[in-house]
Every structure is written in C-alpha cells, then in structure tokens.
Structure 1
Amino acid sequence: MSLEISDQTFKEEVLSSKEPVLVDFWAEWCGPCRSLKPIVDELSEEFKGKVKVAKIDIDANQEVSVEYGIRNIPTLLFFKNGQVVDKVIGVQPKEKLAEKMNALLG
C-alpha cells in the first residue's frame, strides 16, 4: 500500500528519504488517477524496501503541487537523493513504470 503524504510530511518522507521515492500526485475526482491506483499499489508491494511509494492529494496539498509545477494529473515524480530524476504524466503501463523504478535503483 502506498504511503499517504502531505505538504507537512513531504520534506521528511521524500526529500530526506535515504531510499528513492515515487510520488503519485492525484485527486479523488480524477478518473485516470483511479485507473492508475492499482498499478501504483502493486509497484509499492513489488519494490517494498527498495523504493518508497507515496501519494499526495493535490487538492488537500497545494503547496507541494505548486512547487513542482503539477498541472496535469496523474503525475508521477521519481526522486533520488531529494532531487526529481524522472517524471511521467498520465496513466502508463505497469511495465514502463517498473522500468523507471529499476532505473532509480541502478
């Protein structure tokens, strides 16, 4: 299961994380976000202990969304050592996202 984060916990959970982090920017009303959720949850289980998977609701947490220029959702940002190293917008196949997560580990 993905970790729910907020504007208040973003720095600690993402920027200060010792492991790479995938952050899913989503909203309750977003149909494509709901389509992506099971894929993100599966990846969370498959990469447990290697890549942290977090979700942030853009409606409830606008500070981080604005800071990272999130204009379309779902948007997935891949962080390593507190820096964005990759970005995906829209629903993507699980295999493509798994490749990007493996690249974070490489």
Structure 2
Amino acid sequence: MAENVVEFTDGNFQSEVLESDVPVLVDFWAPWCGPCKMIAPTIDELANDYAGRVKIGKVNTDENQATPTNYQIQGIPTILLFKGGEVVDKFVGVANKAKFSAALDTHLS
C-alpha cells in the first residue's frame, strides 16, 4: 500500500471517512481478489496525485465486515466516493484512472 493510502477499518470508518472535511475514495477489497490486485496500483497513483486534497484508502472486507455490509457491498472491488459523509459516486469492478480522476475532480470543485 502506498504511503498516502489510508487503511480504513470498522473502528475508524466514522471518523476517517464520514466525518472527513475532504472527499474520501474508499476501495473495498480482499487479499484473495484478483481484480482488486489489478486496481491497487491505480488507487496508489490516485493517492499520490490527490494527496492533501482527497483522502484515499482501503477497507479489507475479510477483516472488516460491518462497514461493507452497511453499504451493501456485494462484489469487490467496489469503490465508493464519499463527500460530506454521503456516497456521491460508486464504481464496481476494475475501472481506469481517468474515470476515477473525473469523478474526484467533479467533487473537488
């Protein structure tokens, strides 16, 4: 995991994501998930590109089951974009960096 990528857990999700002053991109993943591994470098790049403007992190769905259940995560990878504590965008499966950047840029303005 890149240094700018935050590890979100059931325990810190409220404070780190829902109460964040900046938009938060959350990658719901698991270590055994092939597509999750494919998208990981993109998440790392986004974390570096948007450092200081957007919080980017991951929830390991094997270790943290309450949060994915709360957001009805049924397949991984699922990436949710939060702003003001609310989900404002959702991506399921592997998507390219440009798609995420466009969504982030929209919610930064």
TM exceeding 0.5? yes
Q: Which residue is equivalent to 1:21?
A: 24
Secondary structure of the corresponding residue to residue 10 of structure 2: coil
Paired AA for residue 58 in structure 1? T
> Normalized against structure 2, the TM-score is what?
0.95
Aligned pair 1:35/2:50, yes or no?
no
* CA displacement at 1:105 relative to structure 2: 0.4
Q: Which residue is equivalent to 1:58?
A: 61
Q: Which residue is equivalent to 1:71?
A: 74
1:88-103 aligned at under 5 Å gives the runs: 88-103=91-106
Aligned pair 1:82/2:85, yes or no?
yes
Offset from partner CA, 1:22-68 (integer Å, 9 cap, x none):
00000000000000000000000000000100100011000000000
Q: Which residue is equivalent to 1:48?
A: 51
Identity, % of aligned pairs?
46
Q: 1: CA distance between counterparts of 2:44 and 2:21?
A: 21
Total equivalences in the alignment: 106
Structure 1, gaps ≥5 residues long: none
Paired AA for residue 84 in structure 1? V
Aligned-residue Cα RMSD (Å) equals 0.5
Structure 2, gaps ≥5 residues long: none
> Normalized against structure 1, the TM-score is what?
0.98
